[in-house]
Chains A and B, each alone.
Chain A
Amino acid sequence: MVAAVSVPSQAQTVLRGRLCDPAFVHSALRSSPDTNYSKLKYLVASSVSEACNNSVLLLGPRGCGKAAVVDMVLDDLRKEHPDAISVEIARQLCLEHQLSFSKMASSDDNTEFMIDMLQECGLAHKTILFVLEEFDLFAQGKQRLLYSLLDAMQSLTSQAVVIGVSCRLDADQLLEKRVRSRFSHRKLLFISPSLDDIQWLVEHLLILAKDSGLPAKYITDYNSRLTSIFSDKKFKGCLNSLMDADATTSNILRFLFRAVSYMDMESGFPSIESFLKALSSMQRQPKMDSLQDLSILELYILVCMHRLEDKEQSSYNFTSIMKEYRSIQDAYKTSDKYASTVCFRAFEHLLDRELISFGDNRGRNQALEYRPVKLLISSRELAQSLKLNTTCPVVLQKLFDRERYM
């Protein structure tokens, strides 16, 4: 007896499938005008129909969808012109430079072959599309391949379009003068999308259409819940903090994939918590992890340093921290009074963890106790760690005056 797959897990599968399919992700681009997709398509289509040579560079950070746009344009062209040829020279050819040239006779033969092929195809009225990924790697060394390719395109007998894809924004500055002169100045920059575009993309990816193969009632419930999440301020804040670090499409896809995977199977619907959980799993804070592991004495030291900073002491060292520590112990008579040597060990431990550091760059001669130190964590992080530390004594929390910073 086959156990029926529950509707939520079906939905999860559908969504995950969508997020992993680049064709679906970027299909929304087909409809909007004046995107890089439409510009590239116009360029290639007009070169093919007018039988003239052209070259273009696609530039943008990794993961912003350049290769996807190229694939989409190629797919469209294949449908329109079933007899057009396309050749892909991937980065492997560049890395295996030595290998491929030992198999064949010489680079001269290679380029002659390429030029002959270009001529043949030109006579047969077929256009060749060269897609050069990792274009900046081709610009290393003497750039012979690029030169031969672009030079061959200068003759009337060839019809070719060269599409270079690179993540370096100054890829055309890497070219030699003569290669750059032969390469047209056309560049398509893939800049990071605005917040509205991202919101629109997220909706496009997550909203289920009527024909997704799931029960209709589930779909309507799902869509309404999702729309309410999207208008929630916390979700917008979540997207904002994600975009502040890395605004590329692949980052958004990773985030959405995790959110879909954290979907609560009991209720069967996505919730704002799954998005927040996905965000925190992506934006890990190693410092917070190490702050949570600290001992009480170390926390005391950090709080003392913070109080000293609060008191507007511009520079302080271990000795002044000890003074502050003693004064606290005298005032509150806690059980956490330790000797100076023990405190110094804790101090060194904090230095190792890079939660504090020395404030000057010299000082090999000076003893460690007298070198100025400073905090490397913010007040907010300290407050959070005090909150999360279950064994933290109340006195410490009062000393820190936590409320100010949370």
Chain B
Amino acid sequence: MPTLRSATANGSLVGTPSPAAASTPRSVKRRLTPGRTGESPDASRHTSPHRFPHAGTGTVCIPKLLSASPKSSRKRLYSDLVAVEKPKWNPRDAAQMRAVKEALHVSTVPSSELVCRDNELRRVLEFCKACVEQEKAGSLYVCGCPGTGKTLSISKIKDSLVCWVDEMGMETPDSLAINCTNLANTSEIFGKILGKFQNRKKGSSKLSPLQQLQSMFSNKDSAPRRMMLVIVDEMDYLITRDRAVLHDFFMLTTCPFSRCILIGIANAIDLADRFLPKLESLNCKPLVVTFRAYSKDQISDIVKHRLKDLEYDVFEPLALEFCARKVAAASGDMRKALGVCRSAMEVLEAKLQYSPDQELGIVTFDHMDIALSKAFKSAVVDSILCLPQHQQMVLCALANTFQHCKKKATTLGELNKSYIEICRSTQVPAVGMLEFSNMCMVLSDQGFMKLGQSKEDKLRSVTLQIDRSDITFAFKGNRFFQKCLEQPRC
């Protein structure tokens, strides 16, 4: 359920927004009376979303009667009284363009709360709070596809936890964030954790960092007082053949005086089950929180949330919905959605450059369509069509070879023979063997086929790397190549 805009925008200014269920739908006339700031969230429910998809300060003429009410509610209150003139976005203005691009950039972290991740954030926060309250160690595993907001959410959790702990008057936990791609050796992770605990005293101990940690957590005296939040990103780099490191890592929480709250982040949903079966018997299996891929509503909400602070409409609602639909159907990856939105804006910019007098003030469906096709196109069919003719014939020969036969590989000599057959039947003079092997190397460089190694050139193995149906699709309308492809082989 999307958070109410008034709640996120002006958290403390508006009082408790009246719950939606309790209010009865009001007629238009009653809404027009001034002075009822408390009703503003309901008023927003009735305004058509197409007219005002973005909140913000419009240029509304506000009568002097209302003084201390928040801006957004004022605006909604008078939404039907006065025809709101939202300032139009001028894409030619460099400052405005830059502001929009910055708002949509992947590296921009929204300063306010994250939207659409409330459940997951709540679960993780409750888990951390419980651990801190009871002064017990615990482990948590966060999983999900790339681009679902895991790392972002966890860093927000860190801040919220610190705030909450301060409010409750307890000791602030330390925190350590490690990204496992930077570790040269998987067992280095223990060294890092140890290093954080022992800030000053770096004893030259004979024990390994893991053993030191374990001994530290087994004694009441040597155990540290404060809790430590350890966030381990890209945890699947810790997986080794014997899975020792991963086991030891999670088993740090079983030591009697352990003070770690371990949060591991990875992509695989079943990492805990597949790689850590022993943990379940030891009763220290981590709690699993799955960050599902974004749905289309969530994607549009997030983009709108990012553009919320801007005063103008940047995207046509239909365009944004189209983008959200396509990206959600493909992967649900937020980075991709933001990338596509930016690229749609670049399409608009490019169009503006070529037609200086046209009035284009918004990103339309067509721009989004172009941007989406650029993002989702598969280069294979287009690049097959752009190859020179002889290379295309070689691809046809290869496709023919694997048409009826079950085998997956052939040799360069055999391919040459089938290529010559095709050339003979279509009355095209074939190229010599040297050029033929050059062409095959070019094709393998581009990823269409793969050439093996051999002492003799003719015995090199050849496998097809692309789908055979791509080749047939590419030559669908071309009579010449239809003839080449129809040859019965094998």
Contact = CB atoms under 8 A, between A and B. Distances in A.
Interface of A: 50, 52-53, 59, 61-62, 101, 106-108, 111-112, 142, 144, 147-148, 151, 153-156, 167-171, 177-178, 180-182, 184-187, 189, 191-192, 243-247, 283-288, 357, 376, 378, 380
B427 to A, nearest CB: 8
A170 B447 contact: yes
B442 A62 contact: yes
Contact of A378 (B108, B182, B424, B435): B424
5 closest pairs, A vs B, by CB?
A181-B146, A106-B184, A191-B386, A285-B432, A178-B146
Contacts of B423: 378
B434 A177 contact: no
Interface string B342-358: 01000000000000000
17 contacts: A52-B101, A53-B107, A62-B445, A112-B182, A144-B182, A147-B234, A148-B179, A156-B108, A168-B447, A170-B380, A177-B145, A185-B340, A185-B375, A243-B388, A284-B435, A285-B431, A378-B424
A213 to B, nearest CB: 37
Contact of B335 (A59, A107, A167, A181): A181
Contacts, number: 134
A246 B98 contact: no
A378 B383 contact: no
A181 B182 contact: no
Interface in B336-384: 336, 339-340, 343, 374-375, 379-380, 382-383
Contacts of B433: 286-287
A148 B447 contact: no
A153 B442 CA distance: 33
Contacts of A284: 432, 434-435
B390 A244 contact: yes
Contacts of A153: 107
Contacts of B102: 50, 52
Contact of B184 (A108, A187, A283): A108
A59 B432 contact: no
A135 to B, nearest CB: 12
A180 B339 CA distance: 12
Given A169-B383, A380-B429, 5 more contacts: A167-B445, A168-B447, A185-B336, A189-B379, A246-B438
A108 B185 CA distance: 9
B184 A107 contact: yes
A169 B431 contact: no
A138 to B, nearest CB: 14
A178 B267 contact: yes
Interface of B: 98, 101-102, 105-109, 145-147, 179, 181-185, 188, 234, 237, 267, 333, 335-336, 339-340, 343, 374-375, 379-380, 382-383, 386-391, 417, 420, 423-424, 429-435, 438-439, 442, 445-447
A286 B434 contact: yes
Contacts of A169: 379-380, 383, 446-447
B442 A61 contact: yes
Given A59-B379, A61-B445, A170-B447, A192 B388 contact: yes
Given A170-B379, A357-B417, A154 B107 contact: yes
Nearest to B389: A244
Given A168-B446, A245-B390, A283 B336 contact: no
A192 B438 CA distance: 17
Given A107-B184, A185-B374, A283 B435 contact: yes
A177 B267 contact: yes
A123 to B, nearest CB: 15
Contacts of B386: 191-192
A111 B432 contact: no
Contacts of A286: 432-434
A181 B338 CA distance: 11
B184 A246 contact: no
A182 B335 contact: yes
Contact of A189 (B101, B185, B383, B442): B383
Given A144-B181, A178-B267, A181-B147, A191 B442 contact: no
Contact of A53 (B105, B234, B429, B435): B105
Contacts of B424: 378
A94 B141 CA distance: 33
B379 A50 contact: no
A244 B428 CA distance: 11
B212 to A, nearest CB: 20
A107 B182 CA distance: 6
A148 B380 contact: no
A403 B267 CA distance: 70
Contacts of B435: 245-246, 283-284
Nearest to B392: A244
Nearest to B441: A62
A191 B388 contact: no
B379 A378 contact: no
A191 B237 CA distance: 38
Contacts of A245: 388, 390-391, 431, 435, 439
Contacts of B387: 192
A27 B182 CA distance: 42
A59 B382 CA distance: 13
Nearest to B374: A185
